[in-house]
Structure 1
Amino acid sequence: MNEVDSKLGDLDLEDQSDTTEEDTSSSDESDVEIKFNVAMWDFNQCDPKKCSGRKLARLGLVKCLKVKQKFPGLVLTPTGKICVSPADKDIITKKGLAVVDCSWAKIDETPLGALKPQHARLLPYLVAANPINYGRPCQLSCVEALAAAMYITGYKKIAHHYLDKFGWGHSFITLNEELLDIYAACTDSKSVVEAQGAYIEKEQQAQLQRQNIPDFPPSDSDSTDSDTD
């Protein structure tokens, strides 16, 4: 989850009224209504020019939090102990969604303990589509992390709306659509972890099978045919 900044004022952290926004495909700017808070903490550990979170902040799609500012909703953070799941939809709907913008390489020097989120969550296995970490497992940018949590909890249209702000954004869904749909069909964190394990095992087996396919040399007949005038 790497990326944000830009002081947009204090967040209204009151519970939001319930909303039933559901899935479907790519977002249409005119009919996307976001009824929950979306926020982030920025620890200034990424390149500002490549920071997806800061772009979202400039667009008014993310509000920035001070390090010690509390957030009552679901928080995507490396300190989470359980995976986000469809069971978390009510938390996002009523209390919002936030992401921690920090580098995995600098976690030990990042004051994550100061955040103390009530609903800390990890993301399950997904592959990055951002230009910096394209194809790398779990190396997601802020917008990818937020969109993944939205998609899994039933806010697919809003997930597309956020990703549409980036030229490469659609690639995140393309790379992960099978996995995202699997996670979105789960019931809770435990079933998401089980689905993740089953998917990874299946992919590992497929990779082993591909590696074990012998690379046969051309047959004599093929060689003879190719030498014929």
Structure 2
Amino acid sequence: MNDLETKLGECKLDTPAASDETSSSNSSSSDEEDEIPTYTVAMWDFNQCDPKKCSGRKLERMKLIKSLKIKQRFPGIVLTPVAKKCVSPEDREIIMTKGVAVVDCSWAKIDETPLGALKATHGRLLPFLVATNPINYGKPYQLSCVEAIAATMYITGFKSSALFYMNKFSWGHSFVELNQELLDIYSSCTDSTSVVAAQNKYIEEEQLKQQNRNTLPDFPSSSDDEEDSE
């Protein structure tokens, strides 16, 4: 995580952006009953992404996500950068009864996207996570549609459903593997406040580790010592 740029105390936006779908999809090998959600999974598509690289479009073709009209209201959890709260385990009941929706737009065009028109009742941000999609690999917060959906499912207790969605992409397993520790931390929290606190603690600890590594002196290797002594 040496090259990650973070800000303490800030639960930054984490709505979906463009992602890559050039790889073939993989089916999940698990037999758990809750792999395929019984609740609604939806998205608003602002047509700003390359259709061939958009994970949301791929999920739509697979009938794993429902496309909403831009001004169509959605009663469930909505991942949007204009939200004030982070998603947390306490949102599980809302998702079970009303579903979860994401915004499919380009990260480069966030400022010109009319997100206010969505008027979400339960708007949510996602906490610090690192993207592994081919477009924004290694970048914090800049998740694709499927990464945002899966992260929300995982945090709110629908882990097998999260894995089911990520397994539709050959690179999908890397998202959970890279963010495993954080996802488990967030899913063990109680509410939005505790998720943000856990996020900030994690970032502070990682930054301290980086500082400590940067202050270590460069010692010669043992092989160099032996050569010098001859």
Same fold (TM over 0.5): yes
**Which has the higher relative contact order, 1 or 2, with Cα contacts under 8 A spaced 6 or more apart?**
2
Name the residue aligned to 1:44. 47
Q: Distance in 1 between matches of 2:189 and 2:60?
A: 31
Aligned to 2:13: none
Listed as ranges, the gaps of 5+ residues in structure 2 are: 1-15, 20-27
Paired position in structure 2 for 1:133 = 136
In terms of Rg, which structure is larger? 1
Q: Which moved more, 1:100-109 or 1:136-145?
A: 100-109
1:95 aligns with 2:98: yes
Asked if residue 215 in structure 1 is aligned to residue 230 in structure 2, the reply is no
Q: Which moved more, 1:216-225 or 1:47-56?
A: 216-225
**Per the alignment, in what secondary structure is the counterpart of residue 64 of structure 1?**
strand
Using structure 2 for the length normalisation, give the TM-score: 0.84
Deviating 4+ runs (over 6 angstroms): none
Contact 2:32 2:160 in 1 (8 A): no
Name the structure 2 match of 1:196. 199
2:78–2:102 Cα contact (<8 Å) kept: yes
SS in 1 for 2:176: helix
- Alpha-carbon spacing, 1:156–1:177, altered in 2? closer, same or farther (3 Å): same
Within a 5 Å distance, the mapping from 1:1-229 to structure 2 comes to 1-3=16-18, 28=30, 31=33, 32-218=35-221, 221-224=225-228
Aligned residues: 205
- What are structure 1's unaligned runs of at least 5 residues? 5-25
Q: Is the 8 A contact 1:27 1:157 kept in 2?
A: no
Does the CA-based 8 Å contact 1:183-1:192 persist in structure 2? Answer: yes
Task: Provide the rounded CA distance (Å) in 2 between the counterparts of 1:95 and 1:80.
Answer: 18
* Residues 147 and 221 of structure 1, relative CA distance in 2, 3 Å threshold: closer
Distance in 2 (CA, whole Å) between partners of 1:75 and 1:29 is 28
C-alpha RMSD over aligned residues: 1.8
Relative to structure 1, is the Cα distance of residues 116 and 199 closer, same or farther in structure 2, using a 3 angstrom cutoff? same
Deviations 1:125-176 (A, max 9, x none): 0000111111110110000000000000000000000000000000000000
Deviation of residue 108 (structure 1)?
A: 2.0
Task: Please give the TM-score of this superposition, normalised by the length of structure 1.
Answer: 0.85
Q: SS where residue 129 of structure 1 aligns?
A: coil
Counterpart CA distance in 1 for 2:91 and 2:32 is 27
